[in-house]
Chain A
Amino acid sequence: ETGVTQTPRHLVMGMTNKKSLKCEQHLGHNAMYWYKQSAKKPLELMFVYNFKEQTENNSVPSRFSPECPNSSHLFLHLHTLQPEDSALYLCASSQQQGGNQPQHFGDGTRLSIL
């Protein structure tokens, strides 16, 4: 049982839809992350939040909009996505952003863009 829960597990949407991915962590961590995992490509870090403040935006297109209302919840709002955005989106958390603490991952949301 992972301490990081992502919903939904699967999402199919059209290019004009608006949807949101949700991540919740029950580990008391202060840093949360969004990653994109595409076939045959390295894991790509998208966004980082530390104590609810965004500290990293890794040149992500504006059609992806993160939100972190508190240290336990992280959202990724999606609008007007492209077919190449189809991927597994992984959320992770760690005790804090600095140091060498390991990151704990959720099981991901498999996103398919029609």
Chain B
Amino acid sequence: GNSVTQMEGPVTLSEEAFLTINCTYTATGYPSLFWYVQYPGEGLQLLLKATKADDKGSNKGFEATYRKETTSFHLEKGSVQVSDSAVYFCALSAFSGGYNKLIFGAGTRLAVHP
């Protein structure tokens, strides 16, 4: 079946540190991959996406590369800020039951300290 596995949090970093949040997936076919972010008290916002192998999605200094050979879509940022503190969700869009549906990972909480 289709599933997404993320590294467990929380991830705690100091400001300006390098961030990696691991995400691997299993899927039939050729899914699109997404990272969503949820700030405290808010819903999920699309952060970036990639629709085919070797695509790199990027936004707000975050980036992730669709790696088909390792079935991974790890999120990275070179220098995090306190304002990046949030929960990050990896997701895939897969064809199931006659239509494309989003399947989310469990989320990884990031806490950035000054």
Contacts and interface: CB of A to CB of B under 8 A. Distances in A.
B51 A105 contact: no
A107 interface: yes
Contacts of A48: 101
B100 A90 contact: no
Contact of A97 (B41, B100, B105): B100
Interface in A54-105: 55-56, 90, 92, 97-100, 102-105
B97 A56 contact: yes
Contacts of A4: 43
A69 to B, nearest CB: 22
Contacts, number: 52
A17 interface: no
Instruction: Report whether over half of chain B's contact residues are helix, strand or loop; otherwise say mixed.
Output: strand
B102 to A, nearest CB: 6
Interface of B: 32, 34, 36, 41-46, 49, 51, 89, 93, 97-102, 104-107
Interface of A: 2, 4, 6, 40-43, 45, 48, 50, 55-56, 90, 92, 97-100, 102-108
B39 to A, nearest CB: 10
A100 B43 contact: no
Contact of B105 (A40, A42, A104): A42
A103 B43 CA distance: 11
A43 B97 CA distance: 19
